[in-house]
Structure 1
Amino acid sequence: MNKLDLKKLKLELAINAKSGIDFIISASIVWSAIAYIWTLPREPYSKSILTFYVGITMLPLALLLSKILKTKWTTKTNPLQPLGMWLNLAQLFYFPFLFFILRDNPDYFVMTYVIITGAHFFPYAWFYDEIGYAIFAGIISIGALVVAINVNVEKMYFVPLYMVLCLLLLTVWLIISNKRKKTRDNTV
């Protein structure tokens, strides 16, 4: 496979899946709910467990959004397509660290979860040939740490709010980028 063929395969995935925008919008909704959870007058451990429960809604919500936005999760003729699922599953290998934080320092659970989620965007920069994912992986991961260091633990809800802001900015980026890719694909 030459470089041009690989670029075409990645472009096909990006156009069909709209660069994963259904997942990014779903994540912004889920992280909004998580931000609300972290405003509740409960201990951090309980908020962390609720965060996991809310996180479960991510995939069904993304599936619903894929129907509304008319995105395709699978492109059977594209040999790169299964890689998308593998890239998503990769973040699960960071969860032992998340569970360690839950046990020993639940005040910083939400920050850790945001960092893991943000960092897992990085390989999608290659997968969709979309630099926005690489940029936001860094902005989210480093920014979550900076926010968490600069707020009291009682105001840790600012970390998921920061995540929502980043996800909304990434959504706008992807909308603009997807229009350009579709135009470029029509001219090829």
Structure 2
Amino acid sequence: MKSLQQLQRELSISTAKGTPMLYAGILFWFFAGLSYFFIPEDIRFWVYIYGVGIIFPLGILISKILKKDMFVHDNPLSSLAGLLGAMQILFIPVVLIFIAKNPAIIPYVLAVLTGAHFLPFSWVYQTKWYLIHSFAVIGIALISFYIPNGMMVFLPFALAIEYSIITCFLSLEVKRLKAMQGTTSSI
């Protein structure tokens, strides 16, 4: 039977520590930021609502292009990672309340909810980067709340940059894991 550490290492390599989903998040936040310049204010929040719904299928498409397996069927931690990602669906009632009461803060709400959901991935993938990512996303969201037009301009572009940085660090970790795996298998 494989150890927990072996399962985590194998999942990390197979899924590239979930970076295909982060790539999708980068695209989402970047294009959501661009919407400020091209889409009227009264319908802009719909870009966020529909856009956030595209992240998962886009992440799966990116994983196929990168030849990463986001559904590692022979690893029980894959189901856990899937459940942790799927918990975002449970936030829909919160988002619906904000759509009805104050749609202008939808970018802030989505940032905080997505930022919080990344926290347990630090354990699944045995990395500090998801922990840092979780707090950074929420910190950026808080800062954006106090900047004029911060939620519409600063927040999405800052998150696209922050996601990109975290993705680079996670990718480096995956390369190290692959190198270690190659070293140990040749012994």
Q: Do these two structures clear the TM 0.5 threshold for a shared fold by scoring above it? A: yes
Match of 1:177 in 2: 173
TM-superposed deviation, 1:41: 5.2
Report sequence identity in percent.
27
1:84 pairs with 2:81: yes
Q: Does 1:158 align with 2:154?
A: yes
The equivalent residue for 2:66 is 69
* Structure 1 gap segments, 5+ residues each: none
Per-residue CA deviations over 1:51-98 (Å, capped at 9, x if unaligned) read 222223223322221122110122222122111110011122223222
- Give the one of 83, 92, 95 matched to 1:95: 92
Q: Which amino acid aligns with 1:143?
A: I
User: One-letter code of the match for 2:161?
Assistant: L
| Structure 2 runs not aligned, ≥5 long | none
TM-score by length of 1: 0.89
Displacement after TM superposition at 1:162 (Å): 1.3
Residues in 1 aligned to 2:61 and 2:92: alpha-carbon distance in whole angstroms = 26
Task: Return closer, same or farther for 1:28/1:120 CA change in 2, 3 Å cut-off.
Answer: same
Segments of 4+ in structure 1 off by > 4 A? none
Count of aligned residue pairs for this structure pair: 184
Instruction: Quote the residue 2:8 is aligned against.
Output: 10
Residue type matched to 1:178 in 2? V
Aligned position for 1:129: 126
The answer to whether the 8 Å contact 1:37/1:51 transfers is: no
Q: Deviations over 1:16-45 (max 9, x none)?
A: 00101111111111211111123345235x
Residue pair 1:19, 1:178 contacting (<8 A) in 2 also: yes
1:122-159 deviation line (CA, Å, top 9, x unaligned): 11111111210111100111221112212246x62221
The one of 114, 118, 128 aligned to 2:115: 118
Letter in 2 for 1:120: H
The CA distance in 2 between the partners of 1:128 and 1:104, in whole Å, is 37
How far apart, CA to CA, are the structure 1 residues paired with 2:80 and 2:149?
Answer: 40
Q: How does 1:37-48 map to 2 (within 5 A)?
A: 37-40=35-38, 42-44=40-42, 46-48=43-45
Normalised to the residue count of structure 2, the TM-score between the two structures is 0.89
Q: Could you tell me whether the CA contact under 8 Å between 1:91 and 1:120 is conserved in 2?
A: yes
Counterpart residue identity of residue 119, structure 1: A
Q: Deviations over 1:102-124 (max 9, x none)?
A: 22122211111111112111111
Could you tell me how far apart the structure 2 residues matched to 1:150 and 1:30 are?
A: 21
Instruction: Give the conservation status (yes or no) of the 8 Å contact 2:99–2:106.
Output: yes
Aligned to 2:32, the other structure's residue is in SS state helix
